[in-house]
Amino acid sequence: METMFRKQITILGQPKQISEDQLNRYIFKSLGIMTKVKNKVNQHFLEQHVKRKELLYHPMWLAKILVIADRKPFPPKKIPKMCFIDAISGYRGLLTTVPSTSKKDEPFRTSFVISPEIKEPDEVKRYIKDVQEKQINRSYILKKPEHQLIEYDLVYLPLWKVQMKSSTLTKDFYINANTGESEEYLAKQWKSKRWLLNR
Q: What pTM was computed for the model?
A: 0.88
Residue 64 Cα distances to 58, 118, 159, 160, 197, angstroms: 20, 18, 23, 27, 21
Structural domain includes residue 196: no
In a domain, 197, yes or no: no
CA distances from 55 to 12, 17, 48, 123, 159 (A): 14, 10, 20, 28, 6
Residue 2 has pLDDT above 80, yes or no: no
Question: For 154-185, how does the pLDDT look when each residue is reduced to its tens digit (9 = 90+)?
Answer: 999 999 999 989 888 888 999 999 999 999 99
pLDDT (0 to 100) of residue 15: 74
In this predicted structure, what is the pLDDT of residue 119? 94
Tell me how many degrees the CA angle 118-123-129 measures, rounded to the nearest 5: 115
Is residue 168 assigned to a domain? yes
The answer as to whether 139 is a domain residue is yes
Domain presence at residue 20: yes
Is residue 140 over pLDDT 70?
A: yes
Domain that holds residue 36: 10-189
Torsion-angle region of residue 180: left (phi > 0), alpha (psi -120 to 50) or beta?
Answer: left
Report pLDDT digits (tens) over 38-92. 777 777 888 888 889 899 999 999 999 999 998 888 899 999 999 999 999 999 9
Q: Where are the beta strands (DSSP E) in 25-145?
A: 50-71, 74-86, 92-94, 101-109
Most confident of 28-37, 71-80, 118-127: 118-127
Q: Quick check: is 195 in a domain?
A: no
Q: 101 in a domain, yes or no?
A: yes
* Percent of the chain at pLDDT exceeding 70: 96
Q: Is residue 18 within 8 Å of 178, Cβ to Cβ?
A: yes
Domain count, the chain: 1
Query: Does 63 reside within a domain?
Result: yes
Mean pLDDT for the chain overall:
89
pLDDT, position 85: 98
pLDDT of residue 108: 75
